[in-house]
Amino acid sequence: MILEIVSPEATLFKGEVTSVAVPGVNGEFQMLNNHAPILSLLGKGNVKIVGSGLKIAKEFVTKFNKVNEQTYWLPIESGTIELNDNKIIVLAD
């Protein structure tokens, strides 16, 4: 599935991922390939990205925490998420 993370400054990430976990306002939840469509508000926490061959642009790599070669975390204060047809868009603050 495709993930796009957009902040007020720029698009921080766009690429193919295996799974994404986000801090929903009612608790963390995870999305995998072929997940049902969803629209949700996000709270403070980490957007957890898992995939093989993830490429973070040099200018944004300091915003992400690298857990291992296949996992990155992006701390956010709030935001929204939309998932439809295996494309996830995170609008993050």
CA distance 89 to 56: 16
Average pLDDT over residues 54-77: 96
Q: Note the pLDDT tens digit of each residue in 13-60.
A: 999 999 999 999 999 999 999 999 999 999 999 999 999 999 999 999
State which residues form the domain around 60: 2-92
Q: What is the CATH number of the domain that holds 64?
A: 2.60.15.10
Q: How many domains does the chain have?
A: 1
pLDDT band at 62 (very low <50, low <70, confident <90, very high): very high
pLDDT score recorded for residue 6 = 98
pLDDT band at 92 (very low <50, low <70, confident <90, very high): very high
